[in-house]
Chains A and B, each alone.
Chain A
Amino acid sequence: MKESKGRIVFQCINYTFLFLMMVVCLYPVLYVLAASLSSFEFLSRGKVGIIPMGFTLDAYKRILTYPMLGRSYFNTFFYTIAGTIISMLISALAAYPLSRRPFPGQKFMSKVIVIAMLFSAGIVPTFLVVTKLNMYNTVWSILLPTAVSSFNVILLKNFFQQIPYELEESASLDGCSQTMILFRIILPLSMPGVVTVGLFYAVAQWNSYFPAMLYLRDRALVPIQIILRDIVIQNQTTDLAIDLVKGSDQISESVKYATIMVATLPIMLVYPFIQKYFVKGVMVGSVKG
Chain B
Amino acid sequence: MRDIGRRRKETVNQSPKGPKLGIKKYMPFYIMFLPVLIYYVVFRYIPLIYSLIISLVKYQPAKGILGSKFVGLEYYLQFIKSTFFVRLIRNTLAINFLQLTLGFVAPIILALLLNEVGRAKFKKMVQTVTYLPNFISSVVVVSMVVTFLSPSTGLINNILQAFGLEKVNFLTEPGYFWMIFTLMTMWQTTGYTAIIYLASLTGINSELYEAARIDGAGRWKQLWYVTLPGISSTIVLMFLMKVGRVLDVGYDTIVLMYNPSIYSTSDVIGTYVYRRGILNGEYSFGSAVGFFQSIIGLALVILANKMAKKYSETSLW
Contacts and interface: CB of A to CB of B under 8 A. Distances in A.
Q: Is B a genuine binding partner of A?
A: yes
A110 B33 CA distance: 11
B11 A109 contact: no
Given A104-B21, A105-B29, A129 B50 contact: yes
Nearest to B144: A28
B139 A21 contact: no
A89 B12 CA distance: 31
Contacts of B32: 93-94, 96-97, 178-179, 182
Given A91-B36, A209-B137, A123 B29 contact: no
A102 B8 contact: yes
Interface size range of chain B in the complex: 35 or more
A22 B137 contact: no
Nearest to A32: B144
A97 B51 contact: no
The B interface, classified by DSSP as helix, strand, loop or mixed, is helix
B158 A232 contact: no
A203 B196 contact: no
Given A46-B158, A106-B4, A125-B287, A119 B256 contact: no
A282 B36 contact: no
B132 A15 contact: no
Interface stretch (B93-101, B146-154, B306-314): B146-154
A269 to B, nearest CB: 11
A264 B1 CA distance: 36
Interface string A136-175: 0000000011011000010000000100000000000000
A185 interface: no
Nearest to B4: A102
Interface string B101-131: 0000000001001101110001001111111
A237 interface: no
A124 B51 contact: yes
Given A214-B278, A282-B192, A233 B256 contact: yes
Interface string A92-116: 0110111011111111011011101
A123 B274 contact: yes
Given A128-B54, A225-B139, A260-B140, A286 B196 contact: yes
Contacts of B28: 177-179
A134 to B, nearest CB: 13
Contact of A18 (B22, B113, B192): B113
Contacts of A60: none
Contacts of B278: 123-124, 127, 214
Given A26-B129, A120-B44, A129-B50, A112 B11 contact: no
Nearest to A93: B32
Nearest to A28: B144
A11 interface: yes
Contacts of A98: 4
Nearest to B128: A275
Contacts of A107: 4, 8
A116 B44 contact: yes
Contacts of A66: none
A187 interface: no
A9 interface: no
Closest 6 A/B residue pairs (Cβ): A122-B290, A46-B158, A207-B137, A102-B8, A121-B47, A178-B28
Interface of B: 1, 3-4, 7-8, 11-12, 20-22, 25-26, 28-30, 32-33, 35-37, 39-40, 42-48, 50-51, 54, 61, 110, 113-114, 116-118, 122, 125-133, 135-140, 142-144, 146-148, 153, 155, 158-159, 161-162, 187, 191-192, 195-196, 199-200, 203, 219, 234, 244, 248, 252, 255-257, 270, 273-274, 277-278, 283, 286-287, 290-291, 293-294, 297-298, 301, 316-317
28 contacts: A21-B130, A22-B129, A24-B187, A46-B162, A89-B35, A90-B36, A96-B29, A101-B7, A102-B4, A103-B22, A104-B20, A105-B29, A105-B33, A112-B36, A116-B44, A122-B273, A124-B290, A127-B278, A128-B47, A128-B54, A129-B46, A130-B43, A148-B40, A207-B136, A210-B255, A225-B139, A256-B147, A282-B192
Interface of A: 7, 10-11, 14-15, 17-18, 21-22, 24-26, 28-29, 31-32, 43-44, 46, 89-91, 93-94, 96-98, 100-107, 109-110, 112-114, 116, 118-130, 133, 144-145, 147-148, 153, 161, 177-179, 182, 203, 206-210, 213-214, 225, 228-229, 232-233, 253, 256-257, 260, 263-264, 267, 271-272, 275, 278-279, 282-283, 286-287
Given A11-B118, A32-B147, A103-B29, 7 more contacts: A18-B126, A107-B4, A119-B48, A129-B42, A129-B43, A177-B28, A214-B278
